[in-house]
Amino acid sequence: MTDELVRVYVPATVPMLARLRDEGLVAEEAHAVTPELREWYAEGDEEELEYVAFTRAAQDALLLLRADPTAPRRRVVVSVDLPARAVGRVGGELGSSVVRPAGPVPVKVVAAIHVDGAEAADDVAAAAEVVVEAQAGDPDAQFTVDGAEDHELEWYDPTELDLLLREVG
């Protein structure tokens, strides 16, 4: 019997992509469509639920950028397909999409890599500076974060990882 695959959205930075290629991506937390998310957004179809989980991973990428001021100011989300047994649920809060991969995510399970384009760098840099304040409810900070979220992340095939690292790194 094969294990069902779960699409997981892992927030990352450009330097983390280099580690993905070399060692696998270590993620404390990631996002996926969870039972708690389904219950919270009962009217949402699968595509809408996936978009919510993806967007939350992009928001978490801002936190990673805040923690690493040397990383290029680009949000990164790595979409991976993991066996359900390798995805641990975190908490049980209504609406939560947070999951925890059981170990390092190997590059072979990457379905796609999503990265901000160069035109987003200034807005992403500003958002990374104030993302914590935005999460705490500061409306001015949220406006700045919304400016970064207005940029759609570009899609890359996993085979383009080296090219992407040369272009962005």
Q: What CA–CA distance (Å, rounded) separates 65 from 81?
A: 24
Q: Is 135 helix (H, G, I), strand (E, B) or coil?
A: helix
User: Tokens 């397909």 label which residue?
Assistant: 81
E strand intervals along the chain: 5-12, 30-31, 76-83, 87-89, 98-101, 110-115, 154-156
pLDDT in tens, 114-147: 999 999 999 999 999 999 999 999 999 999 999 9
Output the pTM of the full model: 0.93
Q: What CA–CA distance (Å, rounded) separates 20 from 78?
A: 10
pLDDT in tens, 6-25: 999 999 999 999 999 888 88
